[in-house]
Structure 1
Amino acid sequence: MTPKQKQRAIIVVALVVITLAAIGLLIYASRSELNYYYSPIEVKEGKAPLERSIRIGGLVAPGSIVKSTETIDIAFDIMDGKDRVRVTYDKMLPDLFREGQGVIATGILTDLNNFTATEILAKHDETYMPPEVKESLEKSGIVIDENSRHPGSQP
């Protein structure tokens, strides 16, 4: 191997090492930015991490919505048929938000019963339900009626 070939080989190896290190650092840094999805039953079982950004989803429990009279703050329960998690939110709600509708909330779980949301996503039409919510509801035994205006009834 000539000195020039040796120098090129060293440069190529160095570039590969630097590229792999950069990719590794990006993957490591993005881990903290991922929002994993949990159902209320998984939250109650302790599978969801506390004080870290996550998403929870389910149906807005009937009769659980409590609106502040002085601010736009709201509290409500997300349920999956077996368990409930109390959600607090201090921003404007989506227009389609109402009792019995599927929602996904992004935020921080403060304990196994309370979730502080930074974003609320409601289903966008009468027949759509987020796949994660639908799957967790079906696992907990709730039948999803695709033709109903208000999905979710006990078998």
Structure 2
Amino acid sequence: MNPRRKKRLAIISTIVFGVAAVIGLILYALSQNIDLFYTPHEIINGKQDSGIKPQIGQRIRVGGMVKKGSVKRNGENLKVSFVIYDNFDEITVEYEGLLPDLFREGQAIVANGTLISPRRVKASEVLAKHDENYTSPEIAEAMGKQKHEKPKYSQQQIAGSQ
């Protein structure tokens, strides 16, 4: 192999290695910022199809209905905690900040945050639905998928807590 070909091969190899390294770093950075959606049932028992449970400290999105009578506000600051549930399980969400105007008990919400214990999420953002007939597609789909399982909460229990 002549010196000119060796030089070309070295340059091409360096470029390919550099591009691969940049793509690898970009994918690693993106994987750190992905918020996976879970329902309370999936946080506790794992995803139905794969059994994957979120790890403590993992950033997640969790959606469900706010349980009636579960909202607890701290009178001294903007800290609030509340329980969200799906058809089967419930978890506690802790949030510090102003809640959306449409946030209220018995309504669907999606919270972005970090799992701090198996049944507790520290939210950095809380999103409320926009009208009385709307439930986010993620929550509707997740609750619809779970219909074939026996729910922990019956409609009478949910209505009774109102």
Which residue in 1 is equivalent to 2:43? 43
TM-score, length of structure 1 as denominator length: 0.82
- Structure 1 residue matching 2:147: 3-state secondary structure: coil
Could you tell me how far apart the structure 2 residues matched to 1:74 and 1:140 are? Answer: 29
1:135 aligns with 2:141: yes
Structure 1 equivalent of residue 7 of structure 2: 7
The one-letter amino acid paired with 2:119 is N
Counterpart residue identity of residue 135, structure 1: E
SS in 2 for 1:89: strand
Whole-angstrom CA distance in 1 between matches of 2:21 and 2:78: 46
Write out the 4+ residue segments of structure 1 that deviate beyond 4 Å after TM superposition: none
| Percent of aligned pairs sharing the same letter | 40
Q: CA deviation at 1:84?
A: 0.4
What RMSD over aligned residues (CA atoms) do the two structures have, in Å? 2.2
- Unaligned 5+ residue runs, structure 1? 143-152
> For this pair of structures, how many residues does the alignment match?
145
Q: Tell me which protein shows more helix as a share of its residues.
A: 2
Question: What is the distance in 2 between the residues matched to 1:127 and 1:16?
Answer: 53
1:83 shift after superposition: 0.5
* 8 Å Cα contact 1:58/1:136 also seen in 2: no
Unmatched 5+ stretches in structure 2? 47-52, 149-153, 157-162
Give the partner amino acid of 2:31.
R
